[in-house]
Chain A
Amino acid sequence: MDVNVEAKRILAVSISKLYASRTQRGGLRLHRSLLLSLVMRSARDIYHSSRESEAPIAAAPEEPMDTSSRAEEQTQLPEPESEPQPVANGAEAASEVSDSREEESDGETTEDKENVSPTRQSRKRRGKASAAPDFLPSKRARLEPGEERYAAPLGSCRTMAGESLTTLSLNRVIPAF
């Protein structure tokens, strides 16, 4: 447990160092960025392996996890031509695992993605490392205190569309200039 807390903290510190190094005078330092990404990788492995021991793992989510870390290992070997890449890999390391999950959800055509309520956590399939890691700053818009969110009822727009599209278009023509 302790290790997990420390791993999370080290990950957060490392990410902020990587972000900070982008604005550093003199540009990104390759060796330092590579060392940072190494630390992040060990911290991430420990973090995920201790999360794993909490919840039982399904067999399917294991695959995307392995392929993403293998792809990552290959891309971590430095390429002389593209300097930002090792840093980008380090920065994306934490989110790459969850990104791979997004590809799976393309198969879910029955879901109404357009009108999905903002209160849902994410479109990504829940798995070993579901959603964004909780130490990352949230990129979603946050409500100001006092506001309330009005969720459009699922499917309501769709059913309306066929019937009253013409009426809508007549009444709500928005000038295009």
Chain B
Amino acid sequence: MEEENDTRKVNNSFLRDHNYATEADIISTVEFNSTGELLATGDKGGRVVVFQREQESKTQPQRRGEYNVYSTFQSHEPEFDYLKSLEIEEKINKIKWLPQQNAAYFLLSTNDKTVKLWKISERDKRPEGYNLKDEDGRIRDPATITSLRVPVLQPMDLMVEATARRVFSNAHTYHINSISVNSDLQTFISTDDLRVNLWNLEITDRSFSILISSCFPSTGSPSQLFSFLCDKTRRLLVSINFEEPEDPSTRSFFSEIISSISDVKFSHNGRYLMTRDYLTVKVWDLQMENKPLETYQVHDYLRGKLCSLYENDCIFDKFECVWNGSDSVIMTGSYNNFFRMFDRNTKRDVTLEASRENSKPRAILKPRKVCVGGKRRKDEISVDSLDFSKKILHTTWHPHENIIAVAATNNLYIFQDKVN
């Protein structure tokens, strides 16, 4: 599959031309809405930036729907928990869109402790001709008002505003790692390491809680997975336990860490589950809990380097994984700004790179290869030259087209299929 490099987020920091990123600009989550028209990103500084796809123009068919900034707002601010004497980070952990019901767009964004419901709406008209205020908004002297007039709506430049409609807080002792909206559009769940809270979107002062009492691996067994599914009847929160027996020959100090699951995604057709652990991506059949259907090696060449990856903390990196719209291709990130795609049908895989230096806009991405030993060919990169500070943790795929968004530290890359 060949891709072309399309748009890039403008890095507003004056450090843009330098090679290091302001920490607040580091993208911490990316999410398309259900139609793919909007793409939201959250960053470490608590901001949300929403991109909107341009309408396709007949005159320039090759510029197929580029994404441009639609709205930017500060979703979360840093807070201080006085009781525990802890700072609460403003970093946005997850964004989830609500399916669109009217002209406005709604999304849920969360940091470690608080979930907020944001309404993003357009305003292209403005009332003018007030009785009591003049054009600048100053109150008029009542003595000068001699007649009554009704304000009239006049067109204005499009303004997109975001308002916080609900704030759901004080429900998590530990750090919120994910949120998920129910298909009934009335409830959603937020989860931390030990608790699942079921909320009603209208009610912010209480929620139903489920506490997990034994989720931790016992000695000798690999990590277990709990995934929560709000089914269509809205009654069940189902806990599914997937576990693959560990291969004793590969046991090391770090076995538990590398088998710990960093992301879970249901397929679009609801029949499969994909899990990402440190070195692999696995596809599971929901009916079969004891072994995965498919296992894909993301960067097995790191298996021999676990000790140094432990020391530099990279072994704790939580990579996400994502399905394409038809569930035939899966994608996940790696180091050195590489990301990998696996075609489940043809069993072919490709490694691509998200970087400004190595690809020009509209250029077709060249597949990359990591050399695992022996002679290094010209275009290959050796394992020791990989840049572990450049990691692609967050990726997302358009719900039905071949458009992907990849976050590389503080830059957002959007790739589309080549137009023939």
A interface residues with partner B (beta carbon < 8 Å): 6-7, 10, 13, 17, 25-27, 29-32, 34-35, 38-39, 42-43, 46, 73, 76-78, 80, 83
Query: B89 at the A/B interface (Cβ < 8 Å)?
Result: yes
Assuming A27-B86, A30-B175, A30-B193, is B257 touching A6 (CB within 8 A)? no
B interface residues with partner A (beta carbon < 8 Å): 81, 84, 86-89, 91, 112, 173-175, 192-195, 211, 214-217, 219, 253-254, 256-257, 260, 307, 310-311, 313, 316
Residues of chain A contacted by B87 (CB below 8 angstroms): 25-27
Residues of chain A contacted by B219 (CB below 8 angstroms): 73
A27 to B195 Cα, complex, angstroms: 18
Residues of chain A contacted by B311 (CB below 8 angstroms): 13
- Tell me if B307 and A38 are in contact (CB < 8 A): no
Nearest 9 Cβ contacts at the A-B interface: A27-B86, A26-B89, A30-B193, A38-B256, A30-B174, A35-B257, A31-B193, A25-B87, A42-B253
B15, chain A: closest CB distance, angstroms:
21
Q: Which residue of A lies closest to B257 (CB)?
A: A35
Residues of chain B contacted by A46 (CB below 8 angstroms): 253
Question: 22 A-B contacts, Cβ less than 8 Å apart?
Answer: A13-B311, A26-B88, A26-B175, A27-B175, A30-B193, A31-B193, A32-B316, A35-B256, A35-B257, A38-B256, A39-B254, A39-B257, A39-B310, A42-B253, A43-B253, A76-B216, A77-B214, A77-B216, A78-B194, A78-B215, A80-B173, A80-B195
A32 to B317 Cα, complex, angstroms: 10
A38 to B252 Cα, complex, angstroms: 12
Q: From A26, A76, A77, A83, name the one whose CB has the most chain B CB atoms within 10 angstroms.
A: A26
A26 to B175 Cα, complex, angstroms: 9
B92, chain A: closest CB distance, angstroms:
13
Q: Which residue of A lies closest to B315 (CB)?
A: A35
- Tell me if A39 and B253 are in contact (CB < 8 A): yes
- Tell me if B175 and A34 are in contact (CB < 8 A): no
Query: Contacts A30-B194, A80-B195, A80-B211 given; 13 further ones with Cβ under 8 A?
Result: A6-B307, A13-B310, A26-B86, A26-B175, A29-B175, A30-B174, A35-B260, A35-B316, A39-B256, A73-B219, A78-B215, A78-B216, A80-B173
A119, chain B: closest CB distance, angstroms:
36
B23, chain A: closest CB distance, angstroms:
11
Chain B facing A: main interface SS: loop
B261, chain A: closest CB distance, angstroms:
10
Residues of chain B contacted by A80 (CB below 8 angstroms): 173, 194-195, 211
A3, chain B: closest CB distance, angstroms:
10
A34 to B260 Cα, complex, angstroms: 11
A46 to B310 Cα, complex, angstroms: 18
Assuming A32-B316, A76-B216, A83-B174, is B84 touching A27 (CB within 8 A)? yes
A25 to B111 Cα, complex, angstroms: 13
A72, chain B: closest CB distance, angstroms:
11
Residues of chain B contacted by A73 (CB below 8 angstroms): 219
Residues of chain A contacted by B88 (CB below 8 angstroms): 26-27
Residues of chain A contacted by B214 (CB below 8 angstroms): 77
A81, chain B: closest CB distance, angstroms:
8
Q: Which residue of A lies closest to B209 (CB)?
A: A80
Assuming A32-B316, A39-B253, A42-B253, is B310 touching A10 (CB within 8 A)? yes
Q: Which residue of A lies closest to B87 (CB)?
A: A25
**Out of B84, B86, B211, B257, which one reaches A38, CB within 8 Å?**
B257
Q: Which residue of B lies closest to A32 (CB)?
A: B316
Q: From A38, A46, A76, name the one whose CB has the most chain B CB atoms within 10 angstroms.
A: A38
A30, chain B: closest CB distance, angstroms:
4
A154 to B254 Cα, complex, angstroms: 49
Q: Which residue of B lies closest to A34 (CB)?
A: B216
- Tell me if B253 and A10 are in contact (CB < 8 A): yes
Q: Which residue of B lies closest to A86 (CB)?
A: B216
A77 to B215 Cα, complex, angstroms: 9
Residues of chain B contacted by A39 (CB below 8 angstroms): 253-254, 256-257, 310
B29, chain A: closest CB distance, angstroms:
16
Residues of chain A contacted by B313 (CB below 8 angstroms): 17
Residues of chain B contacted by A7 (CB below 8 angstroms): 253
A73 to B219 Cα, complex, angstroms: 9
Residues of chain B contacted by A83 (CB below 8 angstroms): 173-174
A28, chain B: closest CB distance, angstroms:
9
